[in-house]
Amino acid sequence: MQRIRQSNRSEPSAYQPMGVVFNYLGKTTDQSTLTLHGQAPWTMRPDLAQGLPVCDECERRPQLLEVLAYQQDDSVQFDLLYCPEVIPPATIAALTHGLQQVLHGMLDEYAHHQETLYWAPCDFPLLDVMWDDLDAIGHELALQGISPASVEDLYPMLPTQQGLLTATAKDPSQYTVQSAFTVQGISDPDQLQMAFQRVVAQHTILRTRFLLHWTRPGVTGLQVVLRSNDIEWQVIDDWAVLNAQSEDEYMQLNYARGFTIGGPMLRCVVMPMPGKALRLLLTMHHAITDAWSMGLLQSALLKALQHSSALPATVSPSVKFGDYAEHLLQLDTMASAQFWPLHLQAVEEATILTLPKEPNPTTAMQAQVISLLDDLAGFQHTTQQAGVTINVVLKACWALLLHRYTGQSNVVFGHTVSGRNLGVKKIDQLMGCLINTVPFCVQVERSMPVLDLLHQVAQVSTAMMPHEHCHLSAIQQWTPPGLDVFNLFNTLLVYENVPAVQQSTYDGKITFTDMHELEFTEYDLAAAIEPVGDRLILHLSWNAHKLAKEYAICISQSLSQLLTDVHKALLHTSTPTLVDHVLTLPESEQHMLNAFTTNPLAWDESRTVVDLFTACAQRQPNEAAVELDSDVWDYQT
């Protein structure tokens, strides 16, 4: 408008200076001009209003001129609203001509200087920001080496992503996801890289970086989608290049390296293998992927390799992560605010699984892969006959396991959901972190039939489904004071019933084999269970500083036995099996278990300090009793 005024200084104007108000995306730079209640600061020009009906003074709008602009196909449409009794049409014509010239000039300037990008708040409607905010974002991106011209989109970080990245900011290794597999049928790393770049071009989340500490009202953290592929790609001929002697050792080193907030969230290592094959190791941050998405990524990569001649260099994504973010951020949470306090109302204390830890663990995070069931088809048939799902049975068994080891009747554990039940178009094809972890509460009564417990868990699961997208931070706001949902549990359960990688498309000459994944969470104990063929596989991970390996394996064996016992109970429904029956252990195991379920804080006034100390030593003989410099003595020594 300033340029237009300067180009029309010779024309007479009835009102100087011209009052300009920008009502941009509902944000007006000068709110005072919109609150005059019809008392407009202007009057009619008699020479223009002669012989014409004029509006009453109380009906006058504060603005002499309104310019409405909106996108229509590949052009911008302008509508000018004005009062001809005040502004001559010739003046409007000159104004529109000047506006058109200025806009064309700006487009020409941008075409010749594309390294300078003109951002506008309307480009990022989810951010709810203005010009000063965009300047601040541009400055912060420049510190990361990102130019505005390289940015495709900006939108708020989701609460789950914020939680994952906050943990990473404290410990770079947290939520590092690694997936290794052999690509059979090709030997050229460049061919693999080109196919991978095509996949990244189709999915915005794979080109996303994060600004964790950028905050504005209603926005905490920022997702920055880059236009070009942002991959750290490395081809090696030996693991020694990466200071490792094997793939397993490199994965441990790679896990320790983790990620830097603001940097790339995806990197790849490729090693040629004997024959016509390549070993590919993907490292991604959990903020841009989940188990479902890893399957989508592998399927898309396989398709890109097999159909490389038929695929264009770039493919428009069928669904963007920003669409999902917009849907999630605009959901009505009124019903959820009522559900979660009711779900947690019976919880009196946190469910913290406490068992002996490793004396001197070599690595903090450890993992074990175990087969829980070898007849998945038969097990699934039995659960269907009982009217429950495998996921329900797993949650019930995990609750029984926690009851067994803690002695609590009301147990709580973290339950990770897929997040794929929201009403977003093609959400099953969307790549990104859609998962969410919520507290799942189960009331265990040893006198109730096993089938009743399963139906109770099923009812809770069904009632929770419309509200399982709510982040812990929101649940905390709705929870009565005194209950800390962030520290309500230290175990995690997830059933990863995700789509399988499509290996049989096209000619089948290229396949993926020997898959190996490594992922840890910030929880002391996490159980990720997935169906593989006719088996149910448990990926158990734990913090060795909180839990010894022998006890982690014991827990996995107990879970397997509970599944077997529940399966038997469902096969014999004519005589109901009680929960107490499946929880019963041999006397030797029960004696050891009682030592851990005894509350160490229970107070008995008749006991002396020596008695309490002796009981503590007997309960945990391998625990550190005295530490001096690097020397540690347990209760036995």
Q: Quickly list DSSP for 528-550.
A: EEEEETTEEEEEEEEETTTS-HH
* Per-residue pLDDT tens over the stretch 510-534: 999 998 888 888 899 999 999 998 9
Report the pLDDT value the prediction gives residue 225, as an integer from 0 to 100.
94
Alpha carbon of residue 572 to chain centroid: 41
Peptide bond into 17 cis (omega under 30): yes
* Token output for 396: 């019930």
Q: Which CATH number fits domain 331-497+521-585: 3.30.559.30, 3.40.50.1820, 3.40.190.10, 3.40.47.10?
A: 3.30.559.30
Q: Are 314 and 229 in contact (CB under 8 A)?
A: no
Angle at 99 between CA 97 and CA 101, to 5 degrees: 70
Alpha-helical runs (H) found in 572-631 = 579-583, 587-597, 609-619
Report the pLDDT value the prediction gives residue 588, as an integer from 0 to 100.
53
Q: Cβ-count burial of 158 within 10 angstroms (0-12 exposed, 13-18 middle, 19+ buried)?
A: buried
**Domains of the chain: which residue ranges?**
2-112, 123-325, 331-497+521-585, 598-637
Q: How far is the C-alpha of 447 from the C-alpha of 397, rounded, in Å? A: 16
Report the pLDDT value the prediction gives residue 585, as an integer from 0 to 100.
65
The parts of the chain modelled with pLDDT lower than 50 are 1-18, 29, 31-38, 311-315, 598-603
pTM of the model: 0.76
Q: How far is the C-alpha of 501 from the C-alpha of 317, rounded, in Å? A: 19
The answer for residues whose C-beta is within 8 angstroms of residue 561's C-beta and 6 or more apart is: none
Q: How far is the C-alpha of 433 from the C-alpha of 419, rounded, in Å? A: 9
Q: How far is the C-alpha of 202 from the C-alpha of 318, rounded, in Å? A: 8
Fold match between 123-325 and 331-497+521-585? yes
Q: Which CATH number fits domain 123-325: 3.10.20.30, 3.30.565.10, 3.30.559.10, 3.40.710.10?
A: 3.30.559.10
